[in-house]
């Protein structure tokens, strides 16, 4: 299989930080980039989660995700808004 050169630009401080992290992991930056491309192909998509750290630490977001998992586990995740409101009204009685 023929090799192909891929080039891109990044700021120097990012390159230095990334190289330092890779070095601590026992690989070089080029190996890391090849690993990323390989995983992109294997996963047929981005091989890592893409989220905002501040949202993942947000208690309200965590609570909503937990509620969604519980609803799905109990077969309630496909309720309509009217059904949800009826349940709330019944619980408030």
> Which tens digit of pLDDT belongs to each residue from 3-40?
899 999 999 999 999 999 999 888 899 999 999 999 99
DSSP 26-43: T--HHHHHHHHHHHHHHH
> Which tens digit of pLDDT belongs to each residue from 43-70?
898 887 765 555 556 677 677 788 888 8
The per-residue pLDDT for 37 is 92
CB 15 within 8 A of CB 21: no
The confidence band for 85, taking pLDDT boundaries of 50, 70 and 90, is: confident
The confidence band for 75, taking pLDDT boundaries of 50, 70 and 90, is: confident
């Amino acid at each position: 299989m023929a090799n192909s050169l891929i080039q891109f630009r990044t700021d120097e401080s990012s390159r230095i930080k990334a190289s330092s992290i890779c070095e601590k992991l026992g690989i070089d930056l080029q190996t890391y980039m090849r690993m990323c491309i390989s995983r992109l192909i294997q996963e047929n998509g981005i091989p890592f989660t893409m989220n905002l750290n501040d949202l993942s630490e947000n208690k309200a977001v965590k609570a909503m995700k937990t509620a969604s998992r519980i609803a799905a586990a109990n077969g309630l995740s496909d309720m309509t808004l009217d059904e949800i409101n009826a349940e709330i009204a019944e619980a408030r009685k």
